[in-house]
Copies of this chain bind each other. A is one copy, B any other.
Amino acid sequence: MIKDLGLCKAAAAAEEMEQVAAAGEEEEVPKAQFSDRVPIRSIISRGDGGSGLAGRKARVGGWVKTGRKADKDAFAFLEINDGSCAGNLQVIVEASVAELGQLVPTGTCVVVDGRLKLPPAGTKQKIELRADKLLHVGSVDPAKYPLPKIRLTLEFLRDFVHLRSRTNTISAVARIRNALAYATHTFFNKEGFLYVHTPIITTSDCEGAGEMFQVTTLLSEAERLEKELLQNPPPTEVEVEAARFVVQEKGEVVSQLKAAKASKQEIGAAVDQLKKSKESLAKVEERFKLKPGIPKKDDGKVDYGKDFFARQAFLTVSGQLQVESYVCALSSVYTFGPTFRAENSHTSRHLAEFWMVEPEIAFAELKDDMNCAEAYVKFMCQWLLDNCLEDMQFVADKFDKGCIDRLKLVASTPFIRVTYTEAVEILEDAVKNGKKFENEVKWGIDLASEHERYLTEVKFQKPVIVYNYPKEIKAFYMRLNDDLKTVAAMDVLVPKVGELIGGSQREERYDVIQSRIKDMGLPLEPYEWYLDLRRYGTVKHSGFGLGFERMILFATGLENIRDVIPFPRYPGRADL
């Protein structure tokens, strides 16, 4: 497993320095490679909490979390954090070094040269820094700073997305999110998958345009034109007539000269004039036709032929269909990128812009797909335990006591696998035994969130994969099973969030998928390219999609999806 090399390297370098110092010399703690300071992580996230660095010089920079003056203003104690880890470094500044009043407000940025010392026995931290010199102060007026040092709710912080990464929670989430993204690339690379960038702007409208954002330049073009026509009004009909008259006149001149057998030169000059007048008429006529507003066709519909891509374009809802074209050549691929839904939902589980991981595997059946999904989720859980434990401990303390145990459980326990039919039987049994669900349970229903949570949280208390769903409730591209009633689809359900992954074996049989498209009342034409993948050299293949923010909710135990993406987009809000 690839450990966090940056840390290992810094820690190794620090330990080397120790040996140098032990040999009698005195050295600075090495700086980050492209910056002017030592990351605080390199000091305090060592096995010894930093105590082995005592006596060493270091330059550190960061933002004051807590500052206070002490000993009749002879000292200031500053807890500073630079985001490289969850922990803070305590910096002690004497009044002789700097004006202390400007240093203590929460949010102040400082860069300090100093010497690492062991703190008095009995204090929590293992190392602290005595400042020799203050190199930079980015001050804060506490009366105006929007994030004072009081407990702020996550909801309040959503109004300050540009500052909220300075809080302990949002920075811990940022580090966990980063770790999960890196784990994702590491896992798929290790397994021989190629990362494919599927398009964000798409003209494949596969799940219905209703919930898609449109991408257009028509509105801004219309505004530009309106402005331009105001400044420079279009020609009137009279002006167009006048231009036509000029052409007619110039034409007559040419005819007359030809009839009079004038010199080539004279005729040439007149023809030139005629040409110019025609060009100028064409321009006038074109401008005369300009109409303010969105361009429309004769039937009154918007003329998307005039849009940037010469047709209607949308933001993608999934890269799956496009990545299938790559799997039918490269065998193991995945996409990891933003996807979009223009749904008007105001829940804690939906965003208009969110990230999805979508692997696709050729020569693979549903069983392989489930194996891959299980291995991937386990890998991410183990990765967080190995690489992000300090941040996990923070969120465990603050939000969800059980989150570390949940990661351990998922990393170590085989996932339960039940068919949809078995799952419905389990739910029906529960109802018989007195369990109340809001949504009726019977074969054929789409499992509701309450059903999924019951299976994973109550019945099995571990991750559950439900597979082989009724074809009526699933998409046309899922492979029809031999029973002709179900399709080879699967959902991975986990405690805390319910559905984390949805996937399927894809229908690779040309005739079957063609009739599935027709049966669902969809037009064939937009899917011709997709059918080509089955027409020419078809291959069985399978894949799934994981909602990346759902994974972060699952890992951290946070409740609202708006807090686990840096810049959340939802109805009415798209700050920055």
Please list the residues of chain A having a beta carbon within 8 angstroms of any beta carbon in chain B: 2, 4-7, 9-10, 32-37, 39, 41, 61-64, 82-84, 107-109, 111, 136, 138-141, 144-146, 161-163, 165-166, 171, 174-175, 177-178, 181-182, 185, 189-192, 194-204, 209-210, 212-220, 223-224, 294, 301-302, 308-311, 313, 315, 321-322, 325-326, 328-332, 337-338, 340, 342, 344, 352-353, 355, 361-365, 368-369, 371-372, 375, 508, 529-530, 532-533, 535-540, 565-567, 569, 571-576
Contacts and interface: CB of A to CB of B under 8 A. Distances in A.
A569 B191 CA distance: 30
Given A174-B326, A337-B338, 15 more contacts: A36-B368, A61-B363, A109-B328, A162-B530, A175-B330, A178-B196, A196-B566, A197-B565, A200-B200, A203-B574, A203-B575, A212-B220, A294-B294, A321-B576, A325-B576
A158 B575 CA distance: 37
A366 to B, nearest CB: 11
Given A199-B353, A375-B33, A83 B330 contact: yes
B569 A375 contact: no
Contacts of A538: 109, 138
A565 B200 CA distance: 12
A537 B138 contact: yes
Contacts of A191: 6, 32-34
B362 A35 contact: yes
A310 B61 contact: no
30 contacts: A5-B190, A7-B192, A32-B192, A35-B332, A37-B363, A39-B192, A39-B332, A41-B192, A82-B330, A84-B332, A107-B536, A107-B537, A109-B328, A136-B540, A141-B535, A162-B529, A162-B530, A165-B326, A165-B329, A182-B195, A196-B566, A199-B353, A200-B315, A200-B338, A210-B220, A214-B217, A220-B342, A308-B342, A308-B352, A309-B574
Nearest to A336: B181
Contacts of A140: 536-537
A194 B111 CA distance: 21
